[in-house]
Chains A and B, each alone.
Chain A
C-alpha cells in the first residue's frame, strides 16, 4: 500500500487546523464584539457560505483568486517565487477554506453563550478588557472552541472537492486520502481503496469520540449545581 496519501493527509490536516483554529476564533471574536446586530447577521452569512455551498464552488473561487494568472497567485509567484495552485500548500488552502466556517460558527456560539454578566462583573471589578478576555471569556468558551476545532479538523481531513480543483490529484504531492480513495475506485482498485477508507473511518471515529469524551470531562469539571 502506498503510504504517501496517509502522510500527506496527516500533514495537511494538522497544518490546516492550526490556521483554521486561530482564523476562525479570531474572526468569531471580532464578529462577537460588533455592536450592530445587522452587521453581525451579514458577516455570519458571508462566513458560513463555504459550509453550505458545494466544495467545487469554493474551489472555483480559490482558483479564481490564487490561480497562477490571477492577481494574488501572480503576486506570490512573482515576489516570493511560490506557486500556490497545484502545490501541497494548496491542499492546506482548500482544507482551511472548507473547515473555516465550522470553526467560526462553533467559536461564535461558544462566545455568545458565555454569560455577559460575568464580563460586566469583571469590568466593575476593575479587570482590563484583556484580563477579561483571558480569564473570563476564553475559559467560558473553551469547551465550544475545542469541539469546534475537532469538527474542523475532521472536516479538513475529509476535504475532497475544493482540494481536487485547486491542488489537483498529483500522486505523492497533493493526493490526500479522500483523493486516493477516488483515484483507486476510478482505476477499479477496490482493495486498495478499501484500506484507505478504513484508515479514514478509524481516524474520524477516534477524533469524534474523543470530542465526546472531552465534552463529558469538561462538563464534570464546570457543572453548576446550585443554579
Chain B
C-alpha cells in the first residue's frame, strides 16, 4: 500500500497530485513529460518534493510538515529504470548481489540467494555475463531480480518496455504480468502506452501536466473516461465540443451534427467522444439512430485494420475517424453510432 500526496515546482508546470496504490498494479497513464517519472522519483526518494507526504504500508517515507525525508536506501522502494540501469562493470550475478548488500548477510548466504533468484528469473547460464552482452529481455529480468534481491516492498516501473521492439515487448508484458501476480506488494507502472496499462494494471490513474485527472478501475476508466484528458489518453480518436440541445440530444460543434445520447446529458458535459471502432456502416433504409452521410477524405490500410477519415457530407467539419476490421474495407455511404457508445466528457 502506497499513499502519496506531493507537490513540487517544475520548470513548465507544477507537480501537484495525490494518489493511493493498493497491492497489485497501479498504472499511471500520461503523455510524455507530464511528470510521471518525476512522481516515481519522488516516491523512491531520488527527488525531494517541495511539500507533501508519502507513506508506504503505514510507515512514513516523507513528510514535509514533520521534517521527515528517508533516504532512498531506507525506503524499500524498488525502481526499475527505463534503461534498467544495470551496472556495466558487474556481471549478472554481481548485479543481483548488489541488491543484497543492504541485508548484511555473509557471503555464502548471499551466494545462495543469488542462485535462487537466477533460477526464479530464468537467467541460468548468464551468471558471468556482462549486461552489455545479454539481450534486452534478459537485462530487464536481471534488473527485476536485483530489485527482488533488495527486499523491496513496493516496485516502481518507469516505462519498462519503451526500449524494446514490439515483438519482444508483448512477450515481456506477459512475463511481467506473471511477476505482478507473484509479487505480494504494490507496484506502480508508468507509461504513455495505453495498451500496456490496460493489460497489466487493475487500477489506472490518468495524469496531465502534473495533476491526477481521474483514477479508477482500469476497465471502467477505458469504458467511461468521463474526463476529456482521460478520453484522449485512452485512445479516443474523435472528440468534439458540444452544445446541449435537449435532455438526450447534443450538437457536436466540430462535426456539425446532431447526436442522440443513451443517457441523460449532464449540464457539466463539454465534449463528446466517439471511439473510432464504434462508428459502423449503416445499411440503406435501415432505421438506426445517429446517421451521418459520409464525405470521405482519406483512408489508410494497415495489416489488420482499415482506417477511414471522413467528414459530414451535409455540413463538412472536422474529420471523423472510423476504424474497422480490414475485411470491411469499403467506404460506406452512411454510418451510424450507437447512442449508448457516446462518451460524454467534462473538461
- Say whether, besides A122-B98, A124-B150, A226 and B89 are in contact (CB < 8 Å): no
Number of A-B contacts (CB under 8 A): 90
B147 at the interface (CB under 8 A from A): yes
Give CA–CA (A136, B98) in the complex, Å.
10
Residue of A117, A121, A128 most packed against chain B (CB within 10 A): A121
B-chain residues with CB within 8 Å of residue A195 when the two chains form the complex? none
Neighbour of A222 across the interface among B46, B75, B89, CB < 8 A: B89
- Residue of B81, B90, B132, B150 near A126 (CB, 8 A) is B150
Q: Does B72 contact A (CB under 8 A)?
A: yes
The residue that B134 contacts in the complex, of A121, A126, A226, with Cβ under 8 A, is: A226
Q: Which of A122-136 contact B (CB under 8 A)?
A: 122-128, 131, 135-136
Across the interface, do B102 and A125 meet the contact criterion of CB distance under 8 Å? yes
1/0 contact trace for B126-141 toward A, CB 8 Å?
Answer: 0000111111100100
The residue that A224 contacts in the complex, of B71, B78, B81, B88, with Cβ under 8 A, is: B88
Q: Whole-angstrom distance from the CB of A81 to the nearest CB of chain B? A: 47
Asked if A124 meets B44 with Cβ closer than 8 Å, knowing A118-B87, A140-B88, the reply is: yes
* Shortest beta-carbon distance from A69 to chain B in Å: 51
Chain A residues within an 8 Å CB radius of B139: 226
A2 interface residue, CB < 8 Å from B?
no
Confirm or deny: B272 has a beta carbon within 8 angstroms of a beta carbon on chain A: no
Query: From residue A223, how far is it (CB to closest CB) to chain B in Å?
Result: 6
Inter-chain CA distance A125–B102, complex, in Å, is 8
Query: CA–CA, A136 to B76, complex, Å?
Result: 20
Number of interface residues of A (CB under 8 A): 23
Among A118, A123, A136, A227, which residue has its beta carbon within 8 angstroms of that of B73? A123
Please give, as numbers and ranges, the residues of chain A lying within 8 Å of B99 by CB-CB distance.
Answer: 125-126
A22 CA / B71 CA spacing, docked (Å): 29
Task: Pick from B46, B134, B136 the residue with the most CB of A within 10 Å.
Answer: B46
Chain B interface residue count, CB cutoff 8 Å, equals 39
Answer yes or no: A37 CB below 8 A from chain B CBs: no
Task: Determine if B87 and A136 form an interchain contact, defined as CB atoms under 8 angstroms apart.
Answer: yes
By the criterion CB–CB under 8 Å, are B132 and A227 in contact? yes
Q: Are B88 and A226 in contact (CB under 8 A)?
A: no
The smallest beta-carbon distance between B86 and chain A, in angstroms, is 8
Q: Which chain B residue shows the least CB distance to A122?
A: B98
The chain A residue sitting closest to B78, CB to CB, is: A124
Assess whether B101 is interfacial by the CB under 8 Å rule. yes
Contacting residues, chain B, for A127 (C-beta < 8 A): 73, 98, 101-102
* Docked-complex contact B146 and A117, CB < 8 angstroms: no
A78 within 8 A of B: no
Residues on B facing A (Cβ under 8 Å): 41, 44-46, 71-79, 81, 83, 85, 87-90, 98-99, 101-103, 130-136, 139, 146-147, 149-152
Between A and B, 22 residue pairs with Cβ closer than 8 Å are: A117-B81, A117-B85, A118-B88, A120-B41, A120-B85, A122-B87, A123-B45, A123-B46, A124-B45, A124-B72, A125-B147, A126-B74, A126-B150, A131-B101, A139-B87, A139-B89, A222-B89, A222-B130, A222-B132, A224-B132, A226-B133, A227-B132
Chain A interfacial positions (CB closer than 8 Å to B): 115, 117-118, 120-128, 131, 135-136, 139-140, 222-227
Known: A118-B87, A226-B133. 7 other contacts (CB 8 A): A118-B88, A120-B85, A125-B78, A126-B101, A126-B103, A135-B87, A226-B136
The 7 closest A-B pairs by CB, nearest first: A126-B102, A121-B85, A139-B89, A123-B72, A224-B132, A124-B79, A117-B85
